[in-house]
Amino acid sequence: GEDVEQSLFLSVREGDSSVINCTYTDSSSTYLYWYKQEPGAGLQLLTYIFSNMDMKQDQRLTVLLNKKDKHLSLRIADTQTGDSAIYFCAEKVTGGGNKLTFGTGTQLKVEL
């Protein structure tokens, strides 16, 4: 089966960097995604990385992928209060259509 694990909670101070981690088990992952969900809202796609890449940077967001360890991380630089939300990683596997397996979600709380 496919299991995608994340730590449940992360608290950071405004202006610091946040690092949200994700581990997955399916080695046939092709793309890995990060989504943000604010309270009462749908999921907002933040970024994605192809499985043959190690890193992708997009403004304040940096995605790191360690395929050997099946570990994905999302770094948010200069974290702001508006970044407070639940963050889900998701993997798409070969032959799965466009089916995504979502991680358990990490609640990020940004304190002043």
Partner 1 sequence: DTEVTQTPKHLVMGMTNKKSLKCEQHMGHRAMYWYKQKAKKPPELMFVYSYEKLSINESVPSRFSPECPNSSLLNLHLHALQPEDSALYLCASSQGLAGPYEQYFGPGTRLTVT
Which burial class, exposed, middle or buried, applies to 107 when counting CB atoms under 10 A from its CB (0-12, 13-18, 19+)?
middle
Provide the sign of the torsion angle of the four alpha carbons 80, 39, 105, 53, taken in this order.
negative
105 binds partner 1 (CB under 8 A): yes
1 binds partner 1 (CB under 8 A): no
Q: Which is nearer to partner 1, 39 or 112 (CB)?
A: 39
Residues 6 or more apart in contact with residue 96 via CB below 8 angstroms: none
Q: Which stretch binds partner 1 (CB under 8 A): 15-23, 41-49, 54-62, 76-84?
A: 41-49
How many residues touch partner 1 under the rule CB under 8 A: the total is 23
102 binds partner 1 (CB under 8 A): yes
